[in-house]
Amino acid sequence: MSIQDRLAELGVTLPDAPAPAANYVPFVVTGHHVHVSGQISQGPEGLITGKLGADLDVEAGAGAARACAISLLAQLRRACDGDLDRLVRVVKLVGFVNSTPDFTDQPKVINGASDFLVAALGEAGRHARSAVSAASLPFGVAVEIEAIFEIR
């Protein structure tokens, strides 16, 4: 089954890849790797903002992380000229969680992205990962995630 078919089964339609918000490129392809710049939490209704431990709970944060993963796949699709089936595996995610100093559930928040990628990609979605706190993130978003993918 193609990745696009699996996404459809999950009820997910990838958006167009978001444009960069500053002076950087959205991804770099080097050899068999695609390095995708940090994707901020946004959905069809706009930016997903807030601070975990103050404005948002873990479930809302995980939803924001899932939205980041969807944007990561949109960027990957663009990097692969529309062919997501060139994906070999997700290599690594680095997740940043906009959170209060006493919030310690960053891994549970970033699970929203990790769980989605495994559901959408199967074993190819399993990856190494970091989940860290940030005092603030661009535009006040709840989560930002960057990724490295291996492609054919």
Domains of the chain as residue ranges with CATH: 44-88+100-152 (3.30.1330.40)
Q: Report pLDDT digits (tens) over 121-138.
A: 999 999 999 999 999 999
Q: What is the CB-side half-sphere exposure of residue 151 using CA atoms within 13 A? A: 23
Q: Report pLDDT digits (tens) over 54-99.
A: 999 999 999 999 999 999 999 999 999 999 999 999 999 999 999 9
Cα–Cα distances in angstroms (integers) from residue 76 to residues 17, 41, 46, 50, 138, in the given order: 8, 16, 21, 26, 22
Q: Which amino acid does the sequence have at 1? A: M
Structure tokens at 92: 């690594």
At 18 the pLDDT is 87
